[in-house]
């Protein structure tokens, strides 16, 4: 073991047993994670699938072996807002040809998983199956007391006989590398294919000013790679693949990848790690598991209007932004007439809004991802939500967010699906959109939602104390441009009502007090052009 690594690993003075056996001290337990009780371990055995039970005919099974970064909590269902990447791994595979079983369990180390859980997993492995092993986050702390889950640092052949102080149970402790070798031997003995995977990265940066994520390439990542090379099995550097993505995201966005702490991922982070694993499989030379991956979907629609050398204005929102938009006497959203205000030789406008969506559901349904993936440096994104962002959160239409622009969040169980989901504030979702747009080198512009045809004492209803204020606050917090479309159009409608009467105002709406006619859509689009002129946003230079 290299001296630099030893200095990092040694955790205080050695126990007597360690000194007598001349093995390295265990790694320090810096996380202080509460370990599983025996009762919860028994519950976990019933909550996790029976090994091989998902097998379809003679098709292979992909077994996932790991800790809480792969399966968070005993049930692994996100009921605490944290998710392991193993929950989403199946989405990347053709499940008609291979099934994915997540056998990971939080709090386990290479040592405790091998001794307590592995016998039940390996018995389900058949010839042609695949077993992914990602362990090491918990290979720390004392050897012989407390959680007693540490493995000896390194990949050597050292061993240590211990007596667990609390129980009197005797056990031989091996190196991290030796446990990996044992996993590999057991899988191969049953005709399976083992794959070693490095740990997932944490929300940890080299220093306060650094843009570089801390790697584990001097400890567990290195050791897993060394064992994989010597045993001639595939190794996927999940730590490196995801860390590169995090560095591209930036510190603020990376915060959204975790929940409650800097180790356990949110759904966003778990999905990133699952995608990174699939990427690692796809790019591993000669790895047969890659044949079971779903093909990469190609979006040929979003961004298709792009002209060489010209930016695109992407528009996202709800039905006031995109409606039927095909009948001159029907309902129209402003997004489908906005192009009339721009120079078509220099810029194009794409309307990707969807009726009935809130900021949250637009994100949940993957609609935002399509825009995000299509963005290029120099593009612009107009973002307007609010009409559907109040009401039921986890019942009924289940599309609302928490009110406000703060950083609050809560875990809800969705009535329709029975799944748990973290719900953030309206402003949080807008800030996420802003971060994503900026990450791609594009310019985000937040809009307050269009006014409704609702009046009180000659004044049209405003949203200045709710979504309008929250949208403005989110834009200010994230440093994005903001257009108060509710104010601009509302002022115009009030002047029309004062000068020509409410019947004239009614002509700008269709069927109800929210959705606009084509004339109303154009009124809102003109308001956006006016709002741009009030800013120093470079998009205004593309106006006719």
Residue 347 belongs to domain with CATH number? 3.40.50.1110
Going from the C-alpha of 191 to that of each of 110, 197, 287, 375, 443, the distances in angstroms are 21, 19, 16, 45, 53
Cβ neighbourhood burial of 382 (10 Å; 0-12, 13-18, 19+): buried
Q: Same structural domain for residues 321 and 238?
A: no
Task: Decide if 91 contacts 274 (C-beta within 8 A).
Answer: yes
* pLDDT at position 10: 38
Q: Does any domain span residue 168?
A: no
Q: Same structural domain for residues 391 and 286?
A: no
* pLDDT at position 486: 97
Q: Same structural domain for residues 390 and 508?
A: yes
Structural domain ending residue among the three candidates 292, 320, 355? 292
Q: Does any domain span residue 115?
A: yes
Distance, CA of 448 to CA of 483 (rounded, Å): 7
Q: Same structural domain for residues 408 and 365?
A: yes
Closest CA to 411 of 57, 27, 52, 77: 77
Helix (H), strand (E) at residue 520:
helix 518-533
Q: Same structural domain for residues 202 and 319?
A: no
* pLDDT at position 533: 97
Q: Same structural domain for residues 465 and 403?
A: yes
Structural domain ending residue among the three candidates 257, 292, 327? 292
Structural domain ending residue among the three candidates 261, 292, 323? 292
Q: Same structural domain for residues 355 and 502?
A: yes
Q: Does any domain span residue 480?
A: yes
Q: Does any domain span residue 427?
A: yes
Q: Does any domain span residue 486?
A: yes
- Identify any residues that bridge with 459 across adjacent strands, giving them in sequence order: 456
List per-residue pLDDT tens for the chain, 544 residues long: 333 333 333 343 345 455 445 788 888 866 554 444 444 556 666 677 899 999 999 999 999 999 999 998 778 899 999 999 999 999 999 999 999 999 999 889 999 999 999 999 999 999 999 999 999 999 999 999 988 999 999 999 999 999 999 899 999 999 999 999 999 999 999 999 999 999 999 999 999 999 999 998 899 999 999 999 999 999 999 999 999 999 999 999 999 999 999 999 999 999 999 999 999 999 999 999 999 999 999 999 999 999 999 999 999 999 999 999 999 999 999 999 999 999 999 999 999 999 999 999 999 999 999 999 999 999 999 999 999 999 999 999 999 999 999 999 999 999 999 999 999 999 999 999 999 999 999 999 999 999 999 999 889 999 999 999 999 999 999 999 999 999 999 999 999 998 888 899 999 999 999 999 999 999 999 999 999 999 999 999 999 9
Q: Give the predicted TM-score (pTM) of the model.
A: 0.92
Q: Same structural domain for residues 477 and 330?
A: yes
Q: Does any domain span residue 301?
A: no
Q: Quick one: three-class SS letters along 417-447? A: CCCEEEEEEHHHHHHHHHHHHHHCCCEEEEE
Task: Decide if 216 contacts 204 (C-beta within 8 A).
Answer: no
Q: Same structural domain for residues 242 and 320?
A: no
Domain with 260, as residue range(s), is: 38-139+177-292
Distance, CA of 81 to CA of 265 (rounded, Å): 9
* pLDDT at position 32: 54
Q: Does any domain span residue 60?
A: yes
Q: Same structural domain for residues 287 and 318?
A: no
Q: Does any domain span residue 306?
A: no
- Residues marked active site are found at 319, 512, 515
* Maximum pairwise Cα distance, the chain: 96
* pLDDT at position 48: 78
Q: Same structural domain for residues 493 and 384?
A: yes
Q: Same structural domain for residues 261 and 402?
A: no
Neighbouring residues of 408: CB distance < 8 A, sequence distance ≥ 6: 402, 424, 425
Total domains in the chain come to: 2
* pLDDT at position 74: 77
């Amino acid at each position: 073991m290299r001296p630099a690594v030893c200095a990092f690993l040694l955790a205080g003075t050695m126990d007597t047993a360690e000194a007598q056996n001349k093995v390295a001290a265990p790694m320090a337990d810096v996380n202080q994670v509460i370990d599983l009780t025996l009762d919860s371990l028994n519950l976990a055995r019933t909550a996790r699938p029976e090994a091989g039970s998902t097998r379809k005919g003679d098709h292979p099974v992909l077994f996932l072996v790991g800790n809480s970064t792969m399966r968070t909590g005993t049930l692994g269902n996100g009921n605490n807002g944290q998710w392991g990447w193993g929950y989403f791994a199946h989405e990347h595979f053709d499940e008609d040809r291979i099934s994915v079983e997540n056998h990971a369990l939080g709090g386990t180390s290479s040592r405790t998983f091998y001794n307590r859980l592995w016998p039940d997993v390996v018995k389900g492995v058949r010839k042609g199956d695949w077993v992914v092993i990602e362990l090491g986050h918990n290979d720390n702390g004392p050897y012989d007391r407390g959680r007693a889950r540490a493995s000896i640092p390194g990949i050597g052949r050292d061993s240590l006989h211990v007596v667990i102080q609390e129980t009197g149970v005797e056990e031989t402790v091996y190196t991290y590398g030796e446990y990996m070798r044992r996993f590999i031997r057991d899988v191969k003995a049953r005709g399976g294919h083992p794959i070693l995977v490095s740990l997932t990265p944490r929300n940890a940066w080299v220093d306060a000013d650094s843009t570089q994520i801390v790697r584990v390439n001097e400890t567990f990542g290195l050791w897993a790679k060394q064992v994989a090379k010597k045993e001639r099995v595939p190794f996927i550097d999940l730590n490196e693949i995801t860390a590169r993505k995090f560095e591209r995201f930036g510190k603020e966005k990376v915060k959204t990848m975790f929940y409650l702490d800097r180790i356990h991922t949110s759904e966003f982070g778990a999905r990133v790690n699952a995608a990174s694993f699939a990427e690692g499989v796809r790019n591993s030379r000669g790895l047969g598991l890659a044949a079971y991956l779903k093909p990469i979907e190609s979006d040929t629609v979003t961004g298709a209007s792009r002209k060489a050398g010209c930016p695109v204005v992407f528009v996202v929102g709800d039905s006031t932004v995109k409606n039927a938009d095909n009948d001159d006497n029907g309902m129209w959203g402003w997004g489908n007439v906005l192009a009339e205000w721009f120079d078509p030789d220099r810029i194009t406008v794409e309307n990707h809004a969807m009726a009935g969506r809130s900021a949250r559901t637009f994100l949940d349904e993957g609609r935002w991802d399509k825009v995000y993936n299509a963005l290029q440096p120099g593009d612009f994104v107009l973002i307007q939500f609010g009409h559907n962002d109040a009401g039921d959160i986890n019942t009924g239409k289940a599309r609302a967010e928490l009110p406000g622009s703060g950083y609050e969040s809560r875990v809800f169980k969705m009535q329709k699906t029975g799944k748990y989901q973290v719900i953030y504030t309206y402003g949080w979702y807008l800030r996420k959109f802003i971060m994503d747009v900026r990450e791609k080198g594009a310019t985000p512009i937040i809009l307050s939602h269009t006014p409704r045809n609702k009046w009180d004492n000659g004044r049209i209803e405003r949203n200045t104390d709710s979504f309008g204020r929250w949208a403005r606050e989110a834009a200010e917090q994230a440093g994005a441009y903001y257009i108060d479309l509710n104010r601009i159009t509302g002022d115009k409608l009030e002047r029309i009502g004062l000068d020509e009467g409410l019947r004239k105002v009614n002509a700008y709406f269709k069927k109800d007090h929210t959705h606009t006619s084509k004339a109303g859509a154009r009124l809102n689009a003109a308001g956006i052009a006016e709002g741009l002129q009030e800013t120093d946003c470079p998009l205004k230079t593309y106006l006719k």
